[in-house]
Structure 1
Amino acid sequence: MLDHDALRALIQSDAATRGAPISKLGYFCAPFRPTSGPFSDRVIKVYRGLPDAQALDRLVRYHDEYVAALVKTGVPMPETEITLLDIGGSRIPVIVQQALPADTMMRPLMQRGTLDETLAYMQAAGDVIATFWNNADQFETRIGFHPSIRNFAIVDGRAVFFDSFPPLIHYSRDEMGRMLLQFSEKRLMRVVGPFLQKKVTGIQDEWYSAPETLVGLVGSACRLRPDDAQAYLDWGRGFAETSMPRWADEALAGMSAPPRLPGYWTGFRKILGLQGEPNV
């Protein structure tokens, strides 16, 4: 059971007490890990509130169901809990998650590892992707997965997934498109985004497609290490055929060349000043 008073005091404390943000990605929030105190072994993620109380209650319920669904499909995850915290008269969604060692984040491991090491990391992440999709049929609802390189840690050779927000379960495509704007930390995105709602809504489509999540992982690796792109393409093609045969044709079509991000999304990222650091 979370100590709401201690958590509230921590969130309202100064930066020195809270600790510096541990991610520069910052689309939804800037996660931090306290330097001391009862939450020093946790990562804290504080999100924007909403005026709609029912929508917030639904968010918490869906988040709990999404984490449970990920675990049920076999996705390794650190202990993750969400709560609505009363701060300044508003209810604010806060996620408290067991911290993973900083040196296990997949993205920097991919950047500094040997080619053979990075292929082992890709295999570990791919195994989680295949595990999820091969077991997701049991849920009779819309459910997705966002297994990007920045959302994995590699712990003892195993990929651990830690991104549970927004909860990709139950929400319709249009509802999720609106959430991408409502919970964006960037005011510019909330102001400009509604005029580009159709394109913003499309950001999520990869997360609900088994072949596209694999293609997205391979694309990220190719962009991180363009000199090794062919090795990642070869790995991805082989993995699709052996571990995700149901979706192999679509996945192979997406890996005929190094996959690229949609132009509108790279444009949003530049405008918002987002960096490709671990989204922990």
Structure 2
Amino acid sequence: MTDLDALAGLIRADSAARGRTISRLGYFCAPFRPVSGPFSDRVIKVYRGLDDRAELDRLAEAHDAYVAALKGAGVPMPDTEFHLVPVDGVTVPVVVQEALPEDALMRPRMQAGTREETLAMMSASGEVIARFWLNTRGSETRIGFHPSIRNFAIVEGEAVFFDTFPPLIGYSREEMGRLLLVFSDSRLMRTLGPLMKRRVTGIQDEWYSAPETLVGLVGSACRLRPEHAEAYLAWGRDFARDRMSPWAEEALPGLQEPPRLPGYWTGVRRLLGLQGEPNV
């Protein structure tokens, strides 16, 4: 059973006492891994606290439901827990997740690998994408998936997905758009975001579209390794036909040339100063 008092102590501690920050750039938080203690084999992700207990309780329920849905759809994941932790009078959402080997993170491996190695990683992550959408097809619940390269690790040839926040289940499009603002780690985003609400809300659309998640994966690979773009596009077209045939007709037009990030997302990234670092 998770020691919430110890977890609260970690959250209060300054960055040196917490341990090493895994990623300083991220839309929602900067995950860290303690160097010692009961959480030294975990990555801790601390999100903004809220005063609205009903909203936090709904978030906790949604996160549990989302993890269950991902696992039920056959998505490989590290052990993941969600907690609402009281810290100095504020309740903060915290994800405690089994730490994956740092050398398993897909993004740096894609940057360093040979063409054949990167294509093998694309195939591994593509299989997870196809499995998720095929297994959730026809779901009556609104459910999404954010299988970007930075949200995967490759462990013994298998793609492992580790991004569970925000939980993409049970929220309407407008509600999810609001969560993207409420829980953004950037004060600037929370201040200016309401002025560009339509753009921020649009960020999520790819996550709820089977063909767009595949196109997004290929687009990320093309931007990371432009010298292999034609190989990635060819892989994507073949994969769409072979493994995601229900959505191939929608995906194929986006796989004729290197996909570009939507304008609304590049604008938000510039606002936040994000460069696509791993979101462990």
Q: TM-score range by the shorter chain?
A: over 0.9
Aligned partners of 2:101, 2:45: CA distance in 1, in Å? Answer: 17
Listed as ranges, the matches of 1:121-270 within 5 Å are 121-137=121-137, 139-270=139-270
SS at match of 2:100: coil
Report the counterpart of residue 103 of structure 1 in structure 2.
103
Residues 64 and 138 (structure 1), Cα distance of their counterparts in 2 relative to 1, 3 Å cut: farther
Report the counterpart of residue 84 of structure 2 in structure 1.
84
| Cα drift, residue 138 of structure 1 | 5.9
Contact 2:202 2:264 survives alignment (8 Å): no
Q: Deviations for 1:175-215, whole angstroms, at most 9, x for unmatched residues? A: 00010000000000001010111111000000000000000
| Cα drift, residue 17 of structure 1 | 2.0
| Cα drift, residue 267 of structure 1 | 1.9
Aligned partners of 2:164, 2:31: CA distance in 1, in Å? Answer: 13
Matched letter for residue 71 of structure 2: V
| Cα drift, residue 270 of structure 1 | 1.6
Matched letter for residue 116 of structure 2: D
1:26 paired to 2:29: no
Deviates more, 1:268-277 or 1:239-248: 268-277
SS at match of 1:97: strand
Aligned partners of 2:202, 2:148: CA distance in 1, in Å? Answer: 17
Aligned partners of 1:171, 1:263: CA distance in 2, in Å? Answer: 24
Report the counterpart of residue 11 of structure 1 in structure 2.
11
Report the counterpart of residue 53 of structure 2 in structure 1.
53
| Cα drift, residue 166 of structure 1 | 0.2
Residues 90 and 182 (structure 1), Cα distance of their counterparts in 2 relative to 1, 3 Å cut: same
Aligned partners of 1:65, 1:233: CA distance in 2, in Å? Answer: 34
Report the counterpart of residue 115 of structure 1 in structure 2.
115
Aligned partners of 1:140, 1:150: CA distance in 2, in Å? Answer: 29
Gaps of 5+ in 1: none
Aligned partners of 2:156, 2:7: CA distance in 1, in Å? Answer: 31
Aligned partners of 2:144, 2:14: CA distance in 1, in Å? Answer: 36
Contact 1:24 1:278 survives alignment (8 Å): no
TM-score (norm 2): 0.98
Report how many aligned residue pairs link the two structures. 280
Q: Deviations for 1:7-28, whole angstroms, at most 9, x for unmatched residues? A: 1111112322211310133210
How high is the sequence identity, in percent, across the aligned residues? 69
Q: Deviations for 1:22-66, whole angstroms, at most 9, x for unmatched residues? A: 013321000000011100000000000122110000000000000
Matched letter for residue 14 of structure 2: D
- RMSD value, Cα: 0.8
Aligned partners of 1:126, 1:26: CA distance in 2, in Å? Answer: 23
Aligned partners of 1:11, 1:193: CA distance in 2, in Å? Answer: 26
Aligned partners of 1:92, 1:119: CA distance in 2, in Å? Answer: 39
